[in-house]
Structure 1
């Protein structure tokens, strides 16, 4: 993939800087077990189902953390990672809820949002692997699926309204739209209905994108659990991402 296409993919998917994405791709060891995970998980509240939004601190405890998903690197998104997401837009107003998920910006008006970055980590080659096998493993790491997981908490019926907005946008924008982030414009040529079942309700889509003449595939999944919405957008620097089912399942399990 050309460098320009790689850069556009990173921007369209999550507004992460290319440096951070490539840094994540360079890691070849499995995530270490987070010794505080069990304590954090046991003290975290379940996703509220009675219309009261969770606080930022409560939501942060429910977000995936290092060690929660095997063979995945997980880290909390920083302000620098998400810089510029407020200005992200689309050429069609009806597609805005899809853009919200793509740039990890809570759809509608959440009371709080917590964002983490997740990357699948391929198995490292054996110590006695040939140079060709090691090179192939390196390319596999660069093509691993990168996912942005944004948890958003809502008051009242806000979470249901957020899922409804994403569903409507998927239907309205099936023919595609243009994602605009600063001076960058990324063409989503098709939005197709995907498949994921979980939580109280879920919606999934597969995006076909044209990145400067190169095709790319992304996956969007949004799941509601009570008053909390977990929204995922996945990409790959190689152009073809996989739906991160293990990641989504792990996040729902943590929501309770």
Structure 2
């Protein structure tokens, strides 16, 4: 019974997960982004102007397998990029949130890179029972998947991108609908969460309705100088944990 339930939930979650774990430099909704950015930055204090990193410099800051030996780290692929292009919010003001959910770098970064990261479950003992082996297999399917995108910006734009995410979290607290190619996913609630790092950070707990089954995902964005690192984590089996180990490791690499 548990196996059937996990499989059903995984299929329901696949619509949103297709939009995860991508590396991209922008959204298909430039007008919505410009409006969100303009509204978010009204009256915001200016951050020191930053000099953008090159792609080669940014790539050196990305997580590698040695940084998280208990996780599987892989670059985003072409399939992820295709899914991201058609992912959008039903409300323009929610676009900065959907950028993070679809793992698109907000704004117009000089360079960006992405990774998809999943914890490696422990293998069952050699003398494990069939039930224990089945549980290990289910745990492997239901682990938290985290998308990690790091982007570098010129001047003030990194601060503007983070301000836009913060404003979208407030404007879209009551929920939104995310359109993924061929599917619509209902986000029922966006609630403030806690994470502190870098020059500034914002975190949210995102409640998702997967065909009537509630699911919890986590969204975190951090600015350090002219760099924004954004993370979106979910589990195909339902509720995910905030991927603190992954975020901590990436922040450490940023220096």
Fold equivalence (TM over 0.5): yes
User: Residue 135 of structure 1: CA displacement?
Assistant: 1.1
Is the contact made by 1:13 and 1:234 (CA closer than 8 Å) also made in structure 2?
Answer: no
SS of the equivalent of 1:57 reads helix
Is the contact made by 1:216 and 1:240 (CA closer than 8 Å) also made in structure 2?
Answer: yes
- Off by >2 Å, runs of 4+ in structure 1: 1-11
Distance in 2, matches of 1:125 and 1:57, equals 40
Distance in 1, matches of 2:238 and 2:158, equals 31
Is the contact made by 1:14 and 1:102 (CA closer than 8 Å) also made in structure 2?
Answer: no
Cα deviation per residue 1:128-164 (whole Å; 9 max; x = unaligned)?
2211111111111111100000011111011111110
| TM-score where L is the length of structure 1 | 0.83
User: Residue 58 of structure 1: CA displacement?
Assistant: 1.4
Cross-structure match for 1:65: 64
1:12 to 9, 16, 23: 16
SS of the equivalent of 2:173 reads coil
Cα deviation per residue 1:6-60 (whole Å; 9 max; x = unaligned)?
345234245259xxxxxxxxxxxxxxxxxxxxxxxxxxxxxxx851111112111
User: Is 1:145 aligned with 2:149?
Assistant: no
User: Is 1:117 aligned with 2:121?
Assistant: no
Is the contact made by 1:13 and 1:233 (CA closer than 8 Å) also made in structure 2?
Answer: no
User: Residue 123 of structure 1: CA displacement?
Assistant: 1.6
Alignment of 1:103-182 (within 5 A): 103-182=102-181
Is the contact made by 1:101 and 1:233 (CA closer than 8 Å) also made in structure 2?
Answer: yes
Cross-structure match for 1:249: 248
Distance in 2, matches of 1:53 and 1:225, equals 12
Distance in 1, matches of 2:150 and 2:77, equals 15
Distance in 2, matches of 1:4 and 1:139, equals 13
Cross-structure match for 2:36: none
Equivalent residue pairs, number: 225
User: Is 1:99 aligned with 2:103?
Assistant: no
Q: Which runs of 5+ in 1 are unaligned?
A: 18-48
Cross-structure match for 1:39: none
Distance in 2, matches of 1:122 and 1:155, equals 40
User: Residue 199 of structure 1: CA displacement?
Assistant: 1.0
Q: Which runs of 5+ in 2 are unaligned?
A: 22-47
Cα deviation per residue 1:155-194 (whole Å; 9 max; x = unaligned)?
1011111110000000000000000112211000000101
With over 3 angstroms needed to count, the CA separation of the structure-2 counterparts of 1:7 and 1:108, relative to structure 1, is farther
